[in-house]
Structure 1
Amino acid sequence: MAQSILGSSPVCKPEFPRSSASTSSVSGSKLNVSDIDRTQLGFLNSSKTNLPLRLKALSEGVGLVQETKETTPKFISKPDDTFSEMRNRFLSFKKHKYLENLECYKELAEAQAPKFLVISCADSRVCPSYILGFQPGEAFIVRNIANFVPPFENGPCETNAALEFSVNDLQVENILVTGHSCCGGIRALMSMDDEEKSSSFIKNWVKVGKAAKSTTKTIASNLTFDQQCKHCEKESINNSLLNLLTYPWIEKRVSKGLLSLHGGYYDFVECTYEKWTLDYQKKSQKQEIGGYAIKNREFWS
């Protein structure tokens, strides 16, 4: 099996049952992540001898057709446990959340007025609503690989379409770009050649973070590759915050104090969360490391 370009694997057991597991180890504060998680698709392969081909081989000559085995999916006869569990969770949600808060959900059916736009990684281990406790109607959430925000000049994409809607129509008051530890997208960015031409969707997407990679290579050149990746995970968040300011409607609302830009970093190995706010300085940004300033930094542990 080819290695995933994202290069990440789970280090904790997911809530849904799985048919295989990967292992990882923690040495001090350094995490060694295995190459790839080999998941299965809900069926088992079994091999059986193909008798007609064997007979054909005997009749046409030794070595012409070797013994051939065909693999046939052996479907599980009992109901899919994954969706049975999902069904139970949905019905539990309906009984204990939806029906007990029916008026709230009726109001949400009419309109939404979230205070937050959250831009998070698509990684299955870092669901922002689960981690930060957002309830329905509180946050408009966009998820993509490595929680990148492309600059305005890159042109239209799903992420900036969501930016336009949430800022101009929903008028959110806060944008939170939240990254995480062991990010496969950042690892892919740090591993690739900057001049590489590729048809890979992933490689072409993570190029959005090239500025963060360049800063990391300059500042953290003496660190190990894993340490550089962790540095870039945080640096790319700030790079995305600066990219947000390239959107005219975002810069306008930030300059008027109607919108605040925040960064967050979730370390799911240690279960800690860092939060900070971009200190906006119109046309003369205060120069700190990387050309930006931050304020209101907090560390939750």
Structure 2
Amino acid sequence: MHAQYEASIKEANNYKDDDERNQQLFGLKQINDRRQQRVDRLFARLESQVAEFEDLNTHDVLVTKTHAIVDYWSDRSLQERRRLQNRTQKYLELSDASIKAVGGSQNILRALTRSQDFSVIDVSKSNLLTSKDIISVVNSVKSVTGVALLRDDDEIYKAVMSNVQAIIGGNRDVCLYTNVVVSHNYRWGKPYLLCHLPGASVCKVYFYIEIKCNHIVTLQHAVPEKNGKVNVKLNGHELELRGQRPISFTSEDIHLPNEYLNDVGRPNTLEIIVDNESGSIYCLSDVYLPIRPDPEAD
């Protein structure tokens, strides 16, 4: 892998055009940084699991009939943690049953903090996790930018916003999810978001552009034909949205006009919100980031 990276660097240095060479080198550096981050996370998890396996060989575990660590490594617990760590999903729904399956709240917290980079955690159907527990997950998993709760909690919202602001500060595109829940019916093959509150269920996309031109964002979603209405605004300007599929999801490119975009270096906001008069639930599977320039732009 290192040899391949060095070969790519050597090839990029052969570019005669300075801008093109610098662009290639910058792209390679980003790829290498992401790869190193994945390696670091993997080794950190392995070291932690080795320590836990060593704990299984202690006197307390060997002489007792039940123990939290034993429950954590049981077949049922492993099955549930595989669901939590399924990298094909961005959204996680937690119930009391799923928490009990891994041996309680402390075990589920350990599993969540080692999970994949999910975006939304739905604990609206569980009473077993405290606000402090949820905040610890949000603080540990920096990709969490939405939490579905039984009731509003200002401290949890502050933790979520801290993650969002950190991502924006790194000049990366990010979605902030408010008043959404995670589906348990995986008709799309993976969980998706149910935007069920008219005027309150919102997905806000914060993004920067590198060149002033028309851009595109792709949504994977379903807007019911009957009584369903979703509004999309770019920096306060209304955009056209189709997505009229009552049963299945559709992939739709949303055109972001250049005249509605802020200048390079200034943040933009794309707001996807269920209309106040909508009579149906809006289903959102994916917002594909980063937002990209329109290939047909001049």
Query: TM-score normalized by structure 2?
Result: 0.24
Query: TM-score normalized by structure 1?
Result: 0.24
Query: Which protein shows a greater Rg?
Result: 1
